[in-house]
Chains A and B, each alone.
Chain A
């Protein structure tokens, strides 16, 4: 019976061949470690956010007079409203945790290098869209931190030469953040997940065309690939279990860990909180913004600090396969960079007085310095590694690549 149904569908839609091609026969390197779980986890959190957000939207009111109270209404009166709301707010942080780990894995193993540039870039667009979505979502509860965060970030666009003021007014729909701003942020907060879904689709199509990278950094022989299903569905689901334990620990025991206490006060346009700080996932970039003493320069530096990742496939000039594992200098740069981001995140959350200011500037300098040093360091490192003697297998791969490259020209 079910066979006949499937046969009926297969005549009209490539169902079986799709499942075969993308799951049960999709070749996956058998040496993938748990670091390769985070893409799946990001997809899971995306679905979680869309579902919890949809149900929240059935009770939330995007109107400055009602917004704050409607969130309290969700928390107190709506059945399981507290669960939906905390799921959504904890989910936002979880999203950034898994995405940042996913990116850290890509950096460590050099997975952004040819032929996976388009995966890296589509991922960049996904990251930027998620950041915009998170930023707009944070305004919706209409608390003090929501209001002043939006006020400060929209004011950044005022640094645009010539038309800065008009752009800020256009973004806000008024002279300050107000009702029009709240309503449009809600509309866009609902729209952008569709854009994210579309980009994730492109990300996955690119993945299934270039296939997964793996810890060795070289393409495995066909016999060293195993089908995605069931081997990696199982591995992903196991990782999901671990993730859910951590996620639920926050969700049920520390639900307001990621919500600033200041945000329990309704927005007041005539009173600034004593200390404005963005959500933790924006802190490193916020620190870079503050490091530059000029408004336009700060905004440009912050934009650059995110966009510069797109240049990595070109900045990394080494041909040695494999990421940090087989490249000592690159590994050193990777750890300096990760440490530096943590320093930036820390100072981004501190009031900018005393030593914080200079630490902030030095860390910003190092952040960009790593990108600037990479082209030279990678060339030098390749020369050094070759002189030291590469394993014969790697030499063979490099020779093959070189001859292919020569043949193409």
Chain B
């Protein structure tokens, strides 16, 4: 098309011009939004943080009835060596607010492995003989890490883990 067809100033086809304007604006907006991504993504965990994703724990030093707290991905993990009494008591109950059989929460009923952060607001619950009591707002968990009462909505979360040998687990790999 040549520009010489009329007085030279008035657009020949205003709709076409509007369309081009809209498309330009849309592409520019999409580009600007896409350019935000590197900045947003830079705030996600860096590769070295991700590299520390697995923790190995030797279980041989934990006697029955004892609990050990280890760190995994900067989070505390409770490893509880349960006594036969506790195992039978837990197998018999189904928890409270968030019912779940004990069998689904352990790989080996002797060993309970849970993330030690209260599912309410992330405080670390304190161990007592019945299970755990969260000091922050009073959530009560049993020896399977199941919520019995208090404001916490869920049972204590189970991290992914595997038994590498009979008394060694790797947390972070399932």
Contact = CB atoms under 8 A, between A and B. Distances in A.
B153 interface: yes
B138 A352 contact: yes
Nearest to A171: B43
Nearest to A290: B137
B98 to A, nearest CB: 13
Contact of A175 (B46, B74, B136, B138): B74
A33 interface: no
Given A175-B75, A276-B136, A152 B151 contact: no
Given A269-B74, A274-B135, A173 B153 contact: no
Interface stretch (A5-13, A43-51, A104-112, A176-184): A176-184
A169 B74 CA distance: 12
B123 A276 contact: yes
B44 A173 contact: yes
Contacts of A272: 123-124, 135-136
Interface residues on B, range: 20 to 34
Interface string A135-148: 00000000000001
Given A152-B122, A169-B44, A180-B45, A275 B73 contact: no
Interface string B153-166: 10000000000000
A353 B138 contact: yes
Interface string B117-128: 000111110000
B49 interface: yes
A156 B121 CA distance: 7
Interface string B12-56: 000000000000000000000000000010011110010000000
B45 A152 contact: no
Contacts of B100: none
A157 to B, nearest CB: 11
Interface residues of A, number: 31
A184 B43 contact: yes
A152 B124 CA distance: 11
Contacts of A152: 121-123, 136
Contact of A271 (B44, B49, B124, B151): B124
Given A175-B73, A176-B75, A270-B71, A170 B121 contact: no
Given A152-B121, A170-B44, A275 B49 contact: no
Interface string A341-364: 000000000011100000000000
Contacts of B40: 170
A52 B64 CA distance: 55
Is chain A's binding surface mostly helix, strand, loop or mixed?
A: loop
Contact of B124 (A155, A270, A290, A293): A270
B88 interface: no
B76 interface: yes
B69 interface: yes
Given A174-B49, A352-B137, A353-B138, A270 B69 contact: yes
Given A174-B74, A175-B75, A269-B74, A295 B120 contact: yes
A275 B43 contact: no
A14 B71 CA distance: 63
Nearest to A298: B151
A320 B135 CA distance: 50
Contact of B76 (A148, A270, A290): A270
Nearest to B45: A174
A269 B76 CA distance: 8
B74 to A, nearest CB: 4
Contact of A169 (B45, B151, B153): B45
A173 B49 contact: yes
Contacts of B74: 174-178, 269
A293 B121 CA distance: 12
Contacts of A352: 137-138
A294 interface: yes
A354 to B, nearest CB: 10
Given A175-B49, A270-B76, A353-B138, 14 more contacts: A152-B122, A169-B44, A171-B43, A173-B43, A173-B46, A175-B73, A175-B74, A175-B75, A270-B69, A270-B71, A274-B135, A276-B136, A290-B137, A295-B121
27 contacts: A148-B123, A151-B122, A152-B123, A155-B122, A156-B121, A169-B44, A169-B45, A173-B45, A173-B46, A173-B49, A174-B73, A175-B49, A175-B74, A175-B75, A176-B73, A184-B43, A269-B76, A270-B69, A272-B136, A273-B135, A275-B136, A290-B137, A293-B151, A294-B153, A351-B138, A352-B137, A353-B138
Interface of A: 148, 151-152, 155-156, 169-171, 173-178, 180, 184, 269-276, 290, 293-295, 351-353
